[in-house]
């Protein structure tokens, strides 16, 4: 296997002090079995039998009782410890083992407790809303499979929903952020429920060569899905720092953790982990303990960019200078309202278009929308805003668009 190619070039400048106040999605409020370790100091990853189940249920009850306090907990982080950089490490590494965002010209002001309480309360009730899905938004399974077969030998991309794509590049098949289950939450029981199914189940996926994961939020790191994906022994997993354990615990054998701007070649594809402006959290006390990131993929003279979850920042011009230009960029365009909550972690569709311009992408595909309700904007508003924003950013008609779930397109 190829060795890691160290630092394309680290993020520079003077990072802003870490913001201990991070938005918490309902999908990220309750820890999974793996995450209970962060709270109790004991691993429950492989608990079996009545005793283990009892301990886990007891722990879950304590967390459920803590839910009303979570906005307050988010406002009382230890800013003093998170602002101390780790010696001899890049600036986003902190002395307490956490990570922080790259520098940003105008970091958004954090949400207040008054912003958070009505948002979380409203999101609890949104789970009862019925979403009207436009005709053609989800392709029938037969069309999904036919499209994959039609492009079997060509570089192409297939949207499975949310941030999950199958990407064929240089003869390798890449799977991104495989949230394929029904619920974005622990035990696939607590959290937002998809209003449209994944285009493919784990068992229906074609053979995967490379799997990348941008961060640990439940609508990206789907433990049920990664456990169900077949042929784990032939899949090369590439993740940001701290996320490898989830895959090793699910019996993947080729797992590589990388820092921002580190690269590795797998199956003929050069995979590079890139900075993103976001955060990580799965439980009550594990905020920013694992790194968040985007990715670039390069093979056969073609280069692609995958943003992961991010808000806008000046670091994307840096990514463009160091790694661009890109043939196609996959960028999140959903989960942006209310701005008081979302502006520090997700781009608006207009910002997504500008981000694509900053990294030097010739074409933009919107993702992270039209799948599950995580925020307050109308579920199908984002595409029109992306097209308008792309036009303002200098893209020609058709160069920035979205696609139906299950559709496959050639590069």
In order of start, what are the domains of the chain with their CATH numbers?
1-411 (3.60.15.10)
pLDDT of the residue at 85: 86
Q: Give the predicted TM-score (pTM) of the model.
A: 0.83
pLDDT band at 407 (very low <50, low <70, confident <90, very high): very high
pLDDT of the residue at 37: 34
- Is 210's pLDDT higher than 80? yes
Tokens found for residue 150: 């039609």
Of the listed ranges 2-11, 116-125, 232-241, 324-333, the least confidently predicted one is 2-11
- Is 44's pLDDT higher than 50? no
Whole-number Å distance between alpha carbons of 323 and 47: 43
pLDDT of the residue at 295: 99
Percent of the chain with pLDDT over 90: 70
Alpha helices in 69-129 (DSSP H): 70-75, 79-82, 113-126
| Displacement of CA 377 from its chain's centroid (Å) | 19
Q: What is the pLDDT of residues 70-129, one digit of tens each?
A: 322 332 233 334 469 899 999 999 999 999 999 764 556 778 888 888 887 787 777 677
Contact 33, 56 (CB under 8 A): yes
């Amino acid at each position: 296997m190829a060795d890691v190619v160290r630092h394309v070039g680290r993020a520079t400048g003077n990072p802003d002090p870490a913001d201990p106040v991070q938005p918490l999605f309902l999908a990220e409020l309750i820890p999974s079995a793996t995450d209970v370790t962060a709270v109790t100091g004991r691993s429950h990853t492989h608990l079996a039998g009545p005793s283990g189940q009892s301990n886990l249920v007891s722990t879950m009850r304590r967390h459920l009782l803590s839910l009303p306090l979570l906005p307050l907990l988010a406002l009382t982080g230890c800013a003093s410890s998170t602002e101390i950089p780790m010696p001899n490490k890049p600036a986003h590494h902190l002395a307490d083992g956490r990570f922080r965002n790259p520098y940003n010209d105008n970091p958004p002001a954090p949400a207040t407790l008054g912003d958070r309480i009505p948002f979380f309360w409203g999101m609890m009730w949104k789970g009862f809303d019925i979403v009207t899905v436009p005709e053609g938004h989800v392709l029938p399974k037969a069309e999904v499979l036919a499209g994959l077969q039609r492009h079997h030998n060509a570089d192409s991309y297939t949207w499975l929903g949310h941030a999950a794509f199958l990407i064929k590049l240089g003869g390798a098949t890449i799977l991104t952020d495989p949230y394929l289950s029904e619920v974005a939450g622990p035990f696939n029981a607590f959290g937002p429920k998809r209003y449209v199914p994944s285009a493919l189940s784990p068992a229906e996926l074609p053979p995967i060569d490379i799997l990348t994961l941008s961060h640990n939020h439940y609508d990206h790191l789907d433990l049920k899905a990664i456990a169900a994906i077949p042929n784990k022994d032939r899949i090369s997993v590439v993740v940001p720092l701290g996320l490898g354990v989830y895959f090793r615990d699910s019996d993947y054998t080729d797992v590589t953790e990388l820092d921002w701007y580190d690269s590795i070649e797998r199956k003929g594809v050069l995979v590079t982990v890139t900075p993103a402006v976001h955060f990580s959290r799965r439980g009550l006390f594990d905020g920013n303990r694992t790194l968040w990131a985007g990715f670039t993929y390069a093979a056969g003279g073609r280069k692609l960019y995958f943003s992961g979850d991010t808000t806008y920042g000046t670091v994307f011009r840096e990514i463009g200078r160091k790694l661009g230009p890109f043939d196609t960029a996959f960028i999140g365009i959903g989960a942006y309202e209310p701005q008081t909550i979302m502006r520090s972690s997700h781009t608006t569709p207009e910002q997504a278009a500008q981000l694509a311009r900053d990294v030097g992408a010739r074409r933009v595909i919107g993702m992270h929308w039209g799948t599950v309700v995580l925020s307050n904007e109308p579920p199908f508003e984002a595409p029109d805003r992306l097209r308008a924003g792309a036009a303002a950013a200098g893209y020609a008609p058709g160069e920035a668009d979205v696609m139906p779930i299950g559709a496959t397109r050639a590069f």
